[in-house]
Amino acid sequence: MDIFTPKLWVQTAYILAAFLFIMGLKRMSSPASARGGILWAGVGMVIATLATFLIPLTAMDATTLHTNLTLVVVAITLGSALAWWSGKRVAMTDMPQMIALYNGMGGGAAAAIAAVELYGAHERSLASSVLAVLGALIGAVSFSGSAIAFGKLQGLISKSFRFQGQQVLNLIILVSAVAVGVGIATLGLGTNVVTLFFALALILGVSMTVPIGGADMPVVISLYNALTGLAVAFEGFVLQNPAMIIAGMVVGSAGTLLTQLMAKAMNRSLANVLFAGFGESAQSSNTEVTGSQKPIEASDAGVMMAFAQKVIVVPGYGLAVAQAQHKVWEMAQLLQNRGVTVKFAIHPVAGRMPGHMNVLLAEAGVPYDLIADLEEINAEFETSDVALIIGANDVVNPVARTDKGSPIYGMPILNADQAHNVIVIKRGQGQGFSGIENALFYLDNTRMLYGDAQSAVNQLIQSIKSME
């Protein structure tokens, strides 16, 4: 049966994998089918990986093959075990940086493939050389850039390094990397030049990412995700591997769109995220916040909610940090038992990433139909008795509607200020991510409940329970 060659099996497996990846991503873009989607893609990955073990059977130099086969098995086992272990034990709140980390690894792998190609004396067409170099550049930038993003979100790097002429320096590094790359692709320059090229690309990833603030990191991670996809597609062309070309390109374009959607949800343009530090472009605010913050005891706040008709909970970053999502749901259930209508209003950028807060609430068991996004819920604040803000700040700051000088001007916000009463759970009197004073906290119908989200909600639960 000559037609069933290993090559045919490999190609069949790859086309099947490409199909499963596309279907998997398609299913992942709808809440109802999302869980099945990752499984489809997972099956595709297993099929493609197993089929790749057949490639050595086709035509390969046998002298080093035995060693290489062992190395492949050891490396897969090692990489998988580490990633499995870390992926299983990371807390839900730390997911964003784990995505950055795994994404960077993919970029590094693409760069490694290019390195094997460029260091070795392989025969290549010009197109192949150009794409190998381009994929190497993008992959290496994604690798070091994602590592910095991980460090920032993990709290390992807390400062954003900015200095005059930073953009110019980045541009110089980029231009030199491209120039060296062109030399490698067209003239076939040797080992030392290739090393210089990779060094420049890695430095570029670092210097591009260090000035970007923590609040913008989700957009940056998404961008590097798209870039890794592109790098994988380009190296797929070099290796003449259709599964890599298709999967990489699909992720490249889907990731680019996703990056734009995220930036839009945060009311930031991509250029703004990459080339300007948050707040730097803003003029000084021209509205003075007047009045004072009025504190409230947890017991009073509990009574207020227990006798309300409708309560809208606005969870934010502070809730994620305090891991208070389970407590909040417990409190919501107590209120529901008393006949209070409870809803959760999620701002697109609540938590640490778009959609992150939904994941956290889902983890606590809050059903879908109680969770509303900005457009759905904004008209309902007027008719609600209490808006309970938990660790959210900028996303409920009415200044975004009125103050043209404010850096958050124009950002869509939740209209919590229109609720009859507003209770704000907050650690202290400090400011939000953006460092802007929040006019909501000074309104006449606003009361401040100071404390860590976890303990404050706990006190509210005790207060509501004591009325039964």
Partner 1 sequence: MIDGFIALYIFMLAAFTGYEIISRVPVILHTPLMSGSNFVHGIVLVGAMVALFQAQNTLEQVIGFVGVILAAGNAVGGYVVTERMLEMFKSSKKPQPGGTH
Among positions 211-270, residues that touch partner 1 (CB under 8 A) are 218, 221-222, 225, 228-229, 232-233, 235-237, 239-258, 261-262, 265
Q: Residue 167 corresponds to which tokens in the numbers above? A: 């953009």
**How many residues contact partner 1, by CB under 8 A?**
125
- State the nearest-atom distance from the C-beta of 270 to partner 1, in Å: 15
Rounded CA separation 22/116 (Å): 29
The angle subtended at Cα 465 by Cα 461 and Cα 468, nearest 5°, is: 155
Helices 95-119, 217-238: axis angle to 10 degrees equals 30
Per-position x/- string for 63-82, each x denoting binding to partner 1 as judged by CB under 8 A, each - no binding? -xx-xxx-xx-xxxxxxx-x
Using CB under 8 A, which residues numbered 133 to 152 contact partner 1?
none
318: CB partners within 8 A, 6+ apart: 390, 391, 392, 393, 425, 426, 427, 453
- State the nearest-atom distance from the C-beta of 169 to partner 1, in Å: 28
Contact with partner 1 (CB under 8 A) among 8, 12, 60, 337: 60
- State the nearest-atom distance from the C-beta of 325 to partner 1, in Å: 10
Q: What Å distances lie between residue 217 and 224, 237, 255, 274, 352, CA to CA?
A: 10, 30, 15, 10, 9
- State the nearest-atom distance from the C-beta of 3 to partner 1, in Å: 19
Task: Round to the nearest angstrom and report the end-to-end CA distance of the chain.
Answer: 79
Rounded CA separation 84/78 (Å): 10
Closer residue to partner 1, CB minimum distance, 395 or 424: 395
Closer residue to partner 1, CB minimum distance, 120 or 428: 120
- State the nearest-atom distance from the C-beta of 109 to partner 1, in Å: 4
Please, which residues bridge with residue 312 across strands? 343, 387
Type and span of the H or E element at 421: strand 421-426
Closer residue to partner 1, CB minimum distance, 43 or 178: 43
Q: By CB under 8 A, which span of 305-313, 335-343, 362-370, 388-396 interacts with partner 1?
A: 362-370
Q: Are 143 and 111 in contact (CB under 8 A)?
A: yes
- State the nearest-atom distance from the C-beta of 460 to partner 1, in Å: 23
- State the nearest-atom distance from the C-beta of 130 to partner 1, in Å: 12
Using CB under 8 A, which residues numbered 393 to 422 contact partner 1?
none
Closer residue to partner 1, CB minimum distance, 248 or 315: 248
Using CB under 8 A, which residues numbered 265 to 324 contact partner 1?
265
**At 373, phi and psi to the nearest 5?**
-95, 180
Catalytic one among 394, 403, 417, 452? Answer: 394
- State the nearest-atom distance from the C-beta of 218 to partner 1, in Å: 8
- Decide if 373 is catalytic: no
| DSSP symbols for 64-87 | THHHHHHHHHHHHHHHHHHHHHHH
Contact with partner 1 (CB under 8 A) among 138, 346, 392, 461: 346
19: CB partners within 8 A, 6+ apart: 44
CB atoms within 10 A of CB 146: 29
Q: Nearest-CA neighbor of 457 among 293, 295, 305, 292?
A: 305
Using CB under 8 A, which residues numbered 102 to 131 contact partner 1?
102-103, 105-106, 108-110, 112-113, 115-117, 119-120, 125, 127
Closer residue to partner 1, CB minimum distance, 143 or 278: 143
**Torsion angle of alpha carbons 324, 326, 330, 336, nearest 10°?**
100
Closer residue to partner 1, CB minimum distance, 2 or 375: 375
Q: By CB under 8 A, which span of 53-61, 147-155, 315-323, 402-410 interacts with partner 1?
A: 53-61
Closer residue to partner 1, CB minimum distance, 291 or 367: 367
Rounded CA separation 141/209 (Å): 10
Closer residue to partner 1, CB minimum distance, 186 or 383: 186
Rounded CA separation 173/163 (Å): 16
Using CB under 8 A, which residues numbered 10 to 29 contact partner 1?
14, 17, 21-22, 24-29
Using CB under 8 A, which residues numbered 154 to 213 contact partner 1?
none
Catalytic residues, by residue number, are 394
